[in-house]
Amino acid sequence: MLIDIHVHTSLSRSLPFSQADMLAQVARARQQGLGVCALTDHSDAADILAIHDALDASFPWRQHAYDADGVRLFPGVEVDVAEGVHLLAIGGREAIRRFIMRLVPGIDAAGYFAAQADLALFNVIAHPLRPGHELTRLQPALLPRFDALDLNAKDLWRAGPEHHAAMLSLSARHGLPLLAGSDAHHPDQLGAVRAELAQPVTSPAELRDSIRHAPPRLHIHPELRAMVAAAREAKARRRAAGC
In a domain, 17, yes or no: yes
In a domain, 140, yes or no: no
Q: How confident is the model at residue 243 (pLDDT cuts 50, 70, 90)?
A: low
The average pLDDT across 188-197 equals: 96
In a domain, 201, yes or no: yes
Domain count, the chain: 1
- Characterize 122-149 residue by residue with b for buried, 16 or more Cβ atoms within 10 angstroms of its Cβ, and e for exposed: bbbbbbbbbeebbbeebeeebeeebbbb
| Residue 51 structural domain | 2-77+146-241
How many angstroms separate the CA atoms of 83 and 80, rounded? 8
Check if the beta carbon of residue 66 is closer than 8 Å to that of residue 72.
Answer: yes
In a domain, 186, yes or no: yes
In a domain, 56, yes or no: yes
pLDDT in tens, 30-85: 999 999 999 999 999 878 999 999 999 999 999 899 999 999 999 999 999 999 99
In a domain, 25, yes or no: yes
pLDDT in tens, 155-183: 999 999 899 999 999 999 999 999 999 99
In a domain, 194, yes or no: yes
pLDDT at 46: 76
pLDDT at 242: 65
Tell whether pTM > 0.85: yes
Nearest to 151 by CA among 165, 137, 138: 165
